[in-house]
Amino acid sequence: MRIVVITDTHLARRATSFVENWRTVALWIAEARPDLVVHCGDISLDGAAHPAELIEAAGMLADLSVLVRFLPGNHDIGDNPIAPGKHAEHPLDLARLKQYRVLFGPDRWALHAGAWQVIGLNAQLFGTATAEEEGQFDWLGNELRSGAGPLGLMLHKPLFRTGPVDREPMSDMSPVRRVGGCSPCCEAASCALSFPATHINRVSFSATASSIAGPLDGLLPARRNAGADRRKGGGHPHTCAER
Is 153 contained in some domain?
yes
pLDDT score for 14: 97
pLDDT for the residue 27: 96
Measure CA of the first residue to CA of the last residue in the chain; give whole Å. Answer: 14
Residue 123 sits in which domain range? Answer: 3-232
C-alpha 69/C-alpha 80 separation (Å) is 21
Global pTM reads 0.77
Position 182 in a domain: yes
Q: What is the DSSP letter of 235?
A: -
Q: State the pLDDT at residue 114.
A: 84
The answer to whether 146 and 108 have CB atoms below 8 angstroms apart is no
pLDDT reported for residue 226: 39
Within a domain: 114: yes
Confidence (pLDDT) at 106: 98
| SS3 of 69-115 | EECCCHHHHCECCCECCECCCCECCHHHHHHHHHHHCCCCEEEEECC
- Asked if residue 155 belongs to a domain, the reply is yes
Flag whether 98 is in a domain. yes
pLDDT at residue 61 in the model: 97
Could you tell me the mean pLDDT of each successive run of 10 residues in the chain, 243 residues long?
91 97 96 94 96 98 94 95 78 97 98 89 92 95 86 83 58 47 55 55 48 46 39 35 33
Asked whether residue 238 is assigned to any structural domain, the reply reads no
Rg (CA), the chain: 17
DSSP conformation class of 240:
-
Q: What pLDDT score does 66 carry?
A: 94
Total number of domains in the chain:
1
Rounded to the nearest 10 degrees, the angle between the axes of helix 94-104 and helix 51-61 is: 20
Cross-strand bridge partners of residue 151:
117, 189
Whether 59 is covered by a domain: the verdict is: yes
Per-residue pLDDT, 197: 54
Asked whether residue 243 is assigned to any structural domain, the reply reads no
C-beta separation of 110 from 152 below 8 A: no
CATH (domain of 55)? 3.60.21.10
Contact 157, 205 (CB under 8 A): no
Per-residue confidence (pLDDT) for residue 150, from 0 to 100: 86
Three-state secondary structure string covering 137-193? HHHHHHHHHHCCCCEEEEECCCCCCCCCCCCCCCCCCCCHHHCHHHHHHHHHEEEEE
